[in-house]
Amino acid sequence: MRRTSLSVIALTMAILSGSWSTALAVVPDRGAGVSLGNRNVTVSVPERVTRGRAFAVTVRLPGDVAAVDGRVLMDRRAGELLGVAPLGGGSGLRPATIPGGAAFGAYDLRPSGGATVLELVIVPERSGRVQLRVIIDSVASQEGRRLSVSGGDALANVGVDGGSTVFRAPSAAASPRPVRAARPLRELQQDGRMDKRDSDVARQAWESARLTSSTCTAAQSDANGDGCTDIVDLQAIVAARGTEYSIDATAGAVTIQSLTFTVNSPGDTPDVATGNGVCADSLGVCTLRAAIMEANWTNGADRIEFALTGVAPVLIQLSGPLPLINARSGGVTIDGYTQPGSRVNDSTLGSNAIPGVEIRGNGASARESAFFITSSGNTIRGLLIHNVWRAIVIDHADAYGNRVVGNLIGFLRTGANETTRLNFAVVLNTGAHDNVVGTPDLADRNVIGNYSHAVEHYGPGTNANIVQNNVLCMRPSGMATATCNNGIDHNFGPKNGLIGGTGLNEKNIIGATNLQGIEYSHGWNPAVGQGDTATTYQINGNRSIGNWVGFRGDGSYDIAFRSGLGNQGTADNGNGINCYDGSNDNIIDGNYIASRWDGIQVMSPNSQRNIVRNNIIGQSPLGQAAPMVGWGIKIRIGTRFDTISGNTIKNAALGGVGLIQSNVLNIRVSRNIVTDTNGPAIDLYGVPGPDPNDAGDPDTGANNLLNTPVFTAATTTSISGTAVAGATVEVFRASRPAGQFGLPVEFLGSATAGQNGNWSLPVALTSGTLVTALQIGSNNDTSELAANVAVGKAPPPPGPGSLLAADDFERTASNGWGTASGGGVWSHTGPTGSFSVSGGAGHMQADNGGTRQSRIDIAVAPVSVTGRVALDRLPVGGNVWVYVLARADGETAYNAQLRVAPGGSLFARLRRVENGAATLLGPEVAVSGVTAAAGRPLGVRFDAVGSDLRFRVWDAAGAEPGVWNVTAVDSTADLQDPGEAGLRLYLNGLSNGPVQVSLDDFEVRYGS
């Protein structure tokens, strides 16, 4: 990825306790910006990137900078700031969407190579010239001291896919500035100790201040008292946690264990005396807000129950975000089903639950989260949550063992859809791990819709979360849509998660989505770009098993419920399930999928070793057709080492499995069934239509355009043929006529090709059954399907001139010639030390009176054998005989004899050999106009077509002549069957032996 030098912009900084200067510059990776001493700050951007694939803007700051926040401004149509990756250590905050772009922040940073280095990871979404404006708003030292900044505004241009459209970055608002000098650090969680809960509050406050554009205007979470809520506050708290601090660590501590707080007021007022174990606001009633505040102080597992007046679900209108749920230990269960009149779900279709409490937020514009959990062991249950930008956020590494169960999110109390499209319903964020969203218990089923993302996994450490038995992107009835953009999404690092399962009620049912039902995408490797050696920000080891994607709640098909409804099937969208851009070793298994475009997509060179198996694509769980415009499974953009196996693909217009770009390699495509399409079952990008076999298989393209296996026989009890030595050959019953390709409608079994390339599979079939086959090489490259043959009938012969075997000898071997580049393994007669391969030719050597022979098996009788032969010396006192062999079987063969006499004269003759006894098929003929010389290649061609035999010799430096030196007709029955082809050497009467003959450019074609 090339990087470019751009404009240089000065940035002045001053540490409060002492001044220093630095410069901000946009520079290429190899260079430095404008230097003011050794205090440079540089921003490096790529010159060219690929649409849909993450790239990084690298920010290098002085090594004693420990925290930074800023902005990346760009046309929102052109891209998205995905995440922040500190290179030397530290934590990146999730970027916050702001007008004109996104805010970023990172803290507790450590230098790498003498500098503090961040990578701002961006996903480009449009082709063209994209302007990026990178602004540094605040920086802090390791101790949390602010550095004042001015003039930090760098404008850069990035080319995306060579497009010409210019996407201009908006102008920048001024950086927020403190309104007063910093004061002594104060707690944000008022419990008498400076601990992780204070940093939890500071992290959430940093995001909230940016989402609401209130960094220095609403500073209730301003820890250092300077009037702003920014990265300086968070760094100061982290520094205070790591040292002795003046706040009394025991002041205000409580020892109350495991209380139950009963909410009896629908109000939203705070607790009046937090920490006394009594939930009461200033009027003495218990609100949900007050109950959470009290629960955060206890050391046990608390419960919040409800006894509200009214018909369930009873409304609680939020005045703002609820308090963080961050109890030190034990967790809290908020159980809406304790409200009188509520009812848990017991329906297998959708949900008939009646939540006890309605939590209504303040709309999308407020950009609030209703529940924000940063601790472990909490449960959110039995609530109807809507009209809030984010419903439930489970955040950071201490947030584990939490449960989100039995809720309805994104709907009105009538079950109707929320009228405003909101952001994320449930977010598993920045390290939250081992949490549960839904369980197989029907009572624990969540129904979520009308959010951009129903369930979203984000960030490194967000691992081992389980999402099961949820009904997503449809209404509680399961029979009406509640469209999302994505059903379940993973970005920037989640690993080892489970979506669905094989047990009863473990599957998720995902309805209408604009982009895709399930996505694994946009991982990142901060150490070496997209080189796939570090895993921190990659999306690896996840499983999506047994889900219904793109269907109604009862499993029936409806075009309105499909995945990809709002996309044209481009970039990384428009699929039922997508695995892309930094996603590795994931398993997609046993899912039913209906999509407007493609069923499952795997792509990008940094997404490898993904397994797509046992999925049913293009058909509903009830057996209905679910047509797609594109491929059942689409593989593209350089992905490698993936496995596509055991899938059933129906009704995909373009075909079954499409490897649609030439750099897709080592993709194992095995045991897939494809029906109901006019397209191919398997297509390898290379040439339009079925890819023809070629000698030596030197052509390039997807899966290296591996040749298909060749049938030699198809009976009711056995299917046999030839393939690459050691390849696995899979045989299928086919639906199309003989001579066409596929479709594979039933897997019949597999065989392994021997060292001679032959394979055979026992079967039990009726006469006339159509079969096809593919082969899988040792590197997992898989071919397309071979032309179909009918059982009980001879396989269709190759066309005239079709290549049957070839060897270019572009290898090195000793004690034999090894395996031909196309056609199997060479066999030899004579001491193995007489045979070798080097210098682009196969060599055999014999002494006076000696005979040597090399042969390769050919599956058809009519052949044309060609090659170039050369002697390392001319004979003295005797002759050298070189024989081109055809239809050889043991000691029986046709020979085209070429005698090389002393001085280089050439003589040609045809022979028949039966059980070692030779019969001359005409006189020896002098070859005119051509003589042999040491090292001079001679072209030879021997045709054995039916009973017609023809042989000619020419100087290989010139064109092949149109006349034959010798011809004959012979119809000996034993020599009308297929056999081996090759070369034989015999010496007699020489005084200057041994002599070596070399063979190159060997080919055997179907003769005519």
* C-alpha span between 191 and 275 (Å, rounded): 8
Q: What pLDDT is recorded for position 14?
A: 31
Cis peptide before 961 (omega within 30 of 0): no
Residue 374 structure tokens: 């940063």
C-alpha R_g of the chain: 37
Of the candidates 790, 824, 844, which is a domain's last residue?
790
Q: Which residue has the tokens 């297509």?
A: 683
Question: Strand pairing of 128-141 and 65-73?
Answer: antiparallel
Do 893 and 911 contact (CB within 8 A), yes or no? no
Tell me the average pLDDT of the chain.
Answer: 90
**More confidently predicted of 379 and 192:** 379
Percent of the chain topping pLDDT 70? 92
Per-residue pLDDT of 485-539, as tens digits, reads: 999 999 999 999 999 999 999 999 999 999 999 999 988 865 544 443 568 999 9
| Burial environment of residue 96 by CB neighbours within 10 A (0 to 12, 13 to 18, 19 or more) | buried
Asked if residues 922 and 910 have their Cβ atoms less than 8 Å apart, the reply is yes
User: How would you class 865 by CB atoms within 10 Å of its CB: exposed for 0-12, middle for 13-18, buried for 19 or more?
Assistant: buried
Residue 899 lies in a domain: yes
Please give the C-alpha separations between residue 923 and each of 48, 84, 953, 967, in angstroms, as whole numbers.
71, 84, 16, 10
Q: Two tokens at 251? A: 């002041």
The strand pairing partners of 22, in sequence order, are: 11
The helix/strand/coil state of 486 is strand
- Residue 294 corresponds to which amino acid? E
Q: How far apart are CA 35 and CA 42, in angstroms?
A: 10
Helix axes 231-241, 196-211, angle to 10 degrees: 170
SS3 per-residue string spanning 731-767: EEEECCCCCCECCEEEEEEEEECCCCCEEEEECCCCC
Helix ranges, 623-754 (H): none
Q: Number of helices (H) and strands (E) in the chain: give both, helices first.
A: 3, 79
Burial grade of 935 (CB within 10 A; 0-12, 13-18, 19 or more): exposed
> What phi and psi values does residue 209 have, to the nearest 5 degrees?
-65, -35
The answer to the question of residue 247 being in a domain is: no
Q: What is the mean pLDDT of residues 812-829?
A: 89
Give the CATH number, domain containing residue 754: 2.60.40.10
pLDDT tens string 691-746: 998 877 888 999 999 999 999 999 999 999 999 999 999 999 999 999 999 999 99
pLDDT of residue 802: 84
pLDDT of residue 148: 64
CATH number of the domain that 30 lies in?
2.60.40.680
**Residue at which a domain ends, from 151, 167, 183:** 167
Range with the poorest average pLDDT among 128-137, 141-150, 593-602: 141-150
149 has a pLDDT exceeding 60: no
Does one domain contain both 226 and 363?
no
Among residues 207, 241, 275, the one where a domain terminates is: 241
Is residue 644 a part of any domain in this protein? no
State the pLDDT at residue 242: 55
Return the higher-pLDDT residue of 803 and 790: 790
Band (pLDDT 50/70/90 cuts) for residue 250 is very low
Residues 930, 862: one domain? yes
- 297 assigned to some structural domain: yes
At 528 the pLDDT is: 42
Residue 189 lies in a domain: no
What pLDDT does residue 228 have? 92
Task: Kindly state whether residue 73 falls inside one of the protein's structural domains.
Answer: yes
Strands 611-613 and 583-584: unpaired
For residues 219 and 105, membership in a common domain is answered with: no
The number of residues making up the chain comes to: 1008
Backbone angles phi, psi at 839, to 5 degrees: 60, 25
Cross-sheet strand order for the sheet of 648-650: 314-317, 357-363, 383-388, 408-409, 447-448, 471-472, 509-510, 548-549, 592-593, 616-617, 648-650, 673-675
Domain membership of residue 69 (yes or no) is: yes
Total Cβ atoms within 10 A of residue 916 = 8
Cα–Cα dist 776/791, whole Å: 23
pLDDT at 860: 83
Residues 815 and 786 in one domain: no
Beta carbons of 1008 and 800 less than 8 angstroms apart = yes
Residue 178 has pLDDT above 50, yes or no: yes
Q: Helix, strand, or coil here: 82?
A: strand
For 84-108, give the DSSP string: EEESSS-EEPPPEEETTEEEEEEES
Q: What confidence tier does 7 reach under pLDDT thresholds 50, 70, 90?
A: very low
Q: Are residues 894 and 982 in the same domain?
A: yes
Q: How far apart are CA 353 and CA 477, in angstroms?
A: 10
Q: Which two tokens stand for residue 561?
A: 């419920």
Quick check: 244 pLDDT over 60? no
Give the pLDDT band of residue 561 (cuts 50, 70, 90).
very high
Residues 780 and 811 both lie in one domain: no
pLDDT score recorded for residue 304: 98
- Number of neighbouring beta carbons within 10 Å of residue 505: 15
CA distance 101 to 72: 6
Which residue in 401, 292, 384 sits closest to 336, CA to CA?
384
218 and 73 in a single domain? The answer is no
- Residue 461: which of 489, 497, 425 has the closest Cα? 497
Q: What is the mean pLDDT of residues 12-34?
A: 31
Q: Both 266 and 413 in a single domain?
A: yes
Per residue in 260-306, pLDDT (tens digit) is 999 999 999 999 999 899 999 999 999 999 999 999 988 889 999 99
Using DSSP's 3-state secondary structure scheme, residue 948 falls into: strand
For residue 369, the surrounding DSSP H or E stretch is: strand 369-373
Residue type, 823: G
Q: What is the mean pLDDT of residues 996-1001?
A: 96
pLDDT single digits (tens) 590-603:
999 999 999 999 99
Q: What confidence score (pLDDT) does residue 3 get?
A: 40
Q: How many whole angstroms separate alpha carbon 716 and alpha carbon 448?
A: 55
DSSP 372: E
Q: Choose among 2, 152, 153, 168: nearest CA to 79.
A: 168
**Residues linked to residue 954 through DSSP beta bridges, in sequence order:** 939
- Domain with residue 909: its CATH number is 2.60.120.560
Q: In what order do the strands lie in the sheet with 718-722?
A: 710-714, 718-722, 758-762
**Are 151 and 16 within one domain?**
yes
Residue 986: pLDDT above 80?
A: yes
Closest CA to 389 of 358, 408, 372, 367: 367
The pLDDT assigned to 33 comes to 27
Where residue 368 falls among pLDDT bands split at 50, 70, 90? Answer: very high
Residues 119 and 267 in one domain: no
CB 586 within 8 Å of CB 539: yes
- Whether residues 213 and 345 share a domain: the answer is no
Number of domains in the chain: 5
Domain limits at 135? 3-167
Query: Do both 289 and 394 map to the same domain?
Result: yes
pLDDT score, position 152: 61
pLDDT value for 568: 67
Calculate the alpha carbon distances from 483 to 355, 420, 693, 844 in Å.
22, 11, 47, 72
In a domain, 621, yes or no: no
The mean pLDDT of 631-652, rounded to a whole number, is 97
